[in-house]
């Protein structure tokens, strides 16, 4: 492109200003990408939820338990295919900073209800025979450099407290990129053996699979009606609704992220718009000369927009490359508090599109100003 | 020779009854009034006159940078006074070479790139553009400074680059607004020698505004403006008045 040289020469006119503007784009795009993956991570529970899965919790709150005896009664409701139950363990490995989610599982039914997690049969069979056994997600194994066969302590302040020892019998992997590989599962029998008497026979929540997702509302209603007016009333909803409700406990994350993201982009718009306006004002005379020697008004607009687009493109790409490199590091630094911070191609594409949009918008006003500038007036000011 | 108030069928540039009025608030300022002028191909005309006499306004009108309030300007048979802004831009690219007092080179482009600018608007290939730029820079004696940026050149050299930029697309005529105004006498003489050479050797038509009588004396004809009216036309070399002054 024969005008490319002119655009690049103008861009390089003030190198420090160019670097700072590109830098502001890069930082904004990095922040955009990071906020995006955090939002996605919060929403992922709903995204990965099985369409045929329901979750039954205590009507008061998920932290209130429900009886294990409900299991068979729920299983007898027409349409329920499998049921399993979990408890939150809330432990840490050696230190408070080594947090990751541990769940007590019903090993007889876990794999039928959560088929998206794959475990080699030999490892699973070993786990079934080991009362103190544990199955650990691949990311947590990697994070703590654990190996199958290791015996590890988990400290908890719940269930009477103390340090619980586990044997790592196997590693599970998610079948999809978005599946959470940070969990730690161990046996119900071992759990119930050690917890205080008053907590025995109580589980955290049920997860069930139904034959036909279309029947989920009827089944949920049937479960909750069955235990209505009992000491442990239930609340049953689809897994995605449950996950969305869980996220809501943290506040309106989506609103927060969209607000911060909008402020970032608006600020970026002001910064780049101001930079472009200064840049155009500084060379009013040069643009007037270009128009005098025959460059059209549209050419001048094209030059100004070209410059702002190049800044946006380079800054945007740098920010997204930074995000691609840094987000996995940040995900590790967050110690599994947010599962799977995944920078999706769609998020990257949207980020780049937004950067280019900001580039165009910030170049439009000074560009139109330059386009409308009267050559005679501009030359008089030179 | 330049004819003032004459029928100029064979002229390159015909100006007829040209008025330019600016409005400042409620007040109307007549910058040019009823100006008539004919310039033939290959003539070198200098416009002189006090500040505010309308010299630069006339140059802007002749270059299609501004539009008159009344009257007409015809160049090579094209009446430019009724052209749209877009057409006028295209016309300028083909017919006018501008030379400014402050050179107005693009500081981030080297001499070659500055001279090449008007050619970017043509359909010439890169190799053809290179040939034209090298030829133009050779004419102004700067073939060995092609890669130099404006800050690496003297004022005289910068103006030579500006002249090369003005002639590179072989325009119909050159408009020069105080081309030696920022130069010392020696450099001004060099630039004027170059301008004379452009007229004598390459048959260029030059219209120049200047305050400097020594510079104006290098032109074929000196036209004096006062309060928007041509008051005197003089053959510079013969020191004689032309007839028919408005």
Statement to judge: residues A140 and A38 lie in one domain: no
pLDDT surpasses 60 at B6: no
Is any Cβ of chain A less than 8 angstroms from the Cβ of B100? yes
Distance from CA of B108 to the nearest CA of A (A): 6
- Do the domain assignments include residue A53? no
Do residues A8 and A126 both lie within one domain? no
User: Which residue, A193, A201, A262, A208, is CA-closest to A85?
Assistant: A208
Q: Which two tokens stand for residue B178?
A: 């105080």
Do A73 and A200 lie in one domain? The reply is yes
Q: Which domain holds residue A260?
A: 4-45+252-381
pLDDT of residue A1: 63
Please give the Cα distance from A326 to A256 (Å, whole number).
22
Asked if A294's CB is within 8 angstroms of B102's CB, the reply is: no
The CATH classification number of B13-241 equals 3.40.50.300
Beta-carbon contacts below 8 Å between A and B? 65
* pLDDT for the residue B240: 36
Q: pLDDT at position A266, please?
A: 81
Any CB–CB contact under 8 A between B6 and chain A? no
**For chain A, how many structural domains are there in total?**
2
User: How is residue B5 written in tokens?
Assistant: 């108030």
Does residue A239 contact residue A116 with C-beta atoms inside 8 Å?
no
**Within-domain flag for A54:** no
Q: Do residues A284 and A216 both lie within one domain?
A: no
* pLDDT reading at B2 higher than 70: no
Is the pLDDT at B237 greater than 60? The verdict is: no
- The residue of chain B with its CA nearest to that of A380 is B56
Q: Do A263 and A228 reside in the same domain of the chain?
A: no
Residues A115-118: contacts with CB under 8 Å, at least 24 apart: A116/A48, A116/A50, A116/A174, A116/A175, A116/A176, A116/A179, A117/A172, A117/A173, A117/A174, A117/A175, A117/A179, A118/A172, A118/A173, A118/A174, A118/A175
Q: What is the pLDDT of residue B17?
A: 93
What CA–CA distances, in Å, run from A158 to A26, A65, B33?
Answer: 44, 13, 98
**Could you say which of B89, B98, B165 has the minimum Cβ distance to residue A296?**
B89
Task: State the smallest CA–CA distance between residue A307 and chain B in angstroms.
Answer: 14
Domain-located, residue A144: yes
**Interface contact A3, partner B, CB < 8 A:** yes
Is A2 within 8 Å of B100 when comparing Cβ atoms? no
- Indicate the average pLDDT of chain B: 88
pLDDT at B35 over 70: yes
Q: What is the pLDDT of residue B238?
A: 44
**pLDDT at site A340:** 67
Q: What pLDDT sits at residue B239? A: 45
The pLDDT of residue A274: 85
Please report whether residue A239 resides in a domain.
no
Who among B98, B108, B165 is closest to A12 (CB)? B108
Q: Which residues of chain A make contact with B90, given a CB cutoff of 8 A?
A: 294, 296
Domain boundaries, chain B: 13-241
Coil/strand/helix, residue A189? helix
pLDDT along chain A (382 residues), means of 10: 82 89 89 84 67 90 90 92 92 86 92 91 94 93 92 88 91 86 92 88 93 90 93 91 74 78 81 83 88 92 91 92 88 66 86 89 89 85 57
A136 and A39 in a common domain: no
Same domain, A210 and A308: no
pLDDT over 60 at B246, yes or no: no
Say yes or no: A187 and A297 in one domain. Answer: no
For residue B122, what is the nearest residue in chain A, using CA coordinates? A294
Q: Which of A204, A232, A260 is the last residue of a domain?
A: A232
Shortest Cα distance, chain A CAs vs residue B243, angstroms: 32
Task: Determine which of B54, B84, B105, B120 to mutate to test the interface with A (most A C-beta atoms within 10 Å).
Answer: B120
Q: Are residues A77 and A207 in the same domain?
A: yes
């Amino acid at each position: 492109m024969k005008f490319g040289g002119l655009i690049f020469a103008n861009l390089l006119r003030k190198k420090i200003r160019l670097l700072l503007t590109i830098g502001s784009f890069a930082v904004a795009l990095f922040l955009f990408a990071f906020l995006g993956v955090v939002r996605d991570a919060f929403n992922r529970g709903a995204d990965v939820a099985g369409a045929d899965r329901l979750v039954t919790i205590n009507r008061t709150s998920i932290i209130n338990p429900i009886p294990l005896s409900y299991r068979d009664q729920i299983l007898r409701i027409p349409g329920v295919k499998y049921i399993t139950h979990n408890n939150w363990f809330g432990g840490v490995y050696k230190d408070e900073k080594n947090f990751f989610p541990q769940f007590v599982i019903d090993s007889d039914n876990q794999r039928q209800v959560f088929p998206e997690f794959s475990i080699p049969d030999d490892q699973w069979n070993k786990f079934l025979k080991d009362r103190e056994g544990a199955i650990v997600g691949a990311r947590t194994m990697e994070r703590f450099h654990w190996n199958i066969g290791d015996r590890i302590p988990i400290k908890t302040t719940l269930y009477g407290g103390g340090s619980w020892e586990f044997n790592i019998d196997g590693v599970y992997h998610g079948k999809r990129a978005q599946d959470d590989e940070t969990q730690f599962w161990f046996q119900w029998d071992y759990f119930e053996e050690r917890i205080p008497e008053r907590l025995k026979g109580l589980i955290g929540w049920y997860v069930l699979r139904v034959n036909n997702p279309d029947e989920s509302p009827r089944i949920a209603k049937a479960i909750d009606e069955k235990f209505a007016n009992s000491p442990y009333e239930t609340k049953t909803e689809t897994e995605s609704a449950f996950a969305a409700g869980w996220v809501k406990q943290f506040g309106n994350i989506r609103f927060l992220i969209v607000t911060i993201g909008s402020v970032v982009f608006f600020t970026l718009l002001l910064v780049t718009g101001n930079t472009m306006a200064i840049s155009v004002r500084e060379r009013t005379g040069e643009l007037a000369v270009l128009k005098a020697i025959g460059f059209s008004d549209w050419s001048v607009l094209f030059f100004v927009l070209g410059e702002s687009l190049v800044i946006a493109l380079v800054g945007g790409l740098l920010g997204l490359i930074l995000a691609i490199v840094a987000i996995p590091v940040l995900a590790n630094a967050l110690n599994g508090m947010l599962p799977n911070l995944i920078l999706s191609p769609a998020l990257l594409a949207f980020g780049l599109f937004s950067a280019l949009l900001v580039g165009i918008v910030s170049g439009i006003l000074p560009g139109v100003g330059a386009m409308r500038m009267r050559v005679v007036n501009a030359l008089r000011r030179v | 020779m330049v004819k003032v108030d004459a029928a100029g069928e064979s002229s390159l540039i015909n100006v007829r009854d040209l008025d330019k009025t600016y409005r400042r608030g409620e007040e109307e300022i007549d910058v040019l009034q009823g100006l008539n002028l004919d310039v033939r191909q290959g003539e070198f005309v200098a416009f002189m006159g006090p500040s505010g006499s309308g010299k630069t306004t006339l140059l802007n009108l002749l270059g299609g940078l501004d539009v008159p309030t009344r009257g007409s300007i015809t160049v090579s048979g094209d009446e430019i006074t009724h052209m749209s802004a877009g057409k006028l831009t295209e016309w300028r690219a083909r017919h006018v070479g501008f030379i400014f007092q402050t050179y107005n080179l693009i500081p981030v482009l080297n001499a070659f790139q500055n001279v090449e600018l008007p050619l970017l608007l043509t359909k010439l290939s890169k190799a053809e553009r290179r040939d034209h730029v090298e030829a133009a820079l050779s004419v102004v004696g700067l073939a060995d400074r092609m890669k130099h940026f404006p800050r690496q050149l003297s004022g005289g050299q910068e103006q030579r680059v500006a002249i090369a930029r003005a002639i590179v697309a072989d325009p119909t005529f050159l408009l020069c607004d105080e081309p030696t105004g920022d130069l010392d006498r020696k450099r001004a003489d060099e630039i004027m020698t170059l301008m004379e050479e452009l007229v004598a050797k390459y048959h260029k038509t030059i219209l120049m505004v200047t305050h400097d009588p020594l510079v104006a004396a290098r032109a074929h004809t000196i036209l004096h403006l006062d309060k928007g009216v041509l008051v005197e036309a003089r053959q510079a070399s013969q020191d004689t008045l032309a007839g028919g002054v408005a």
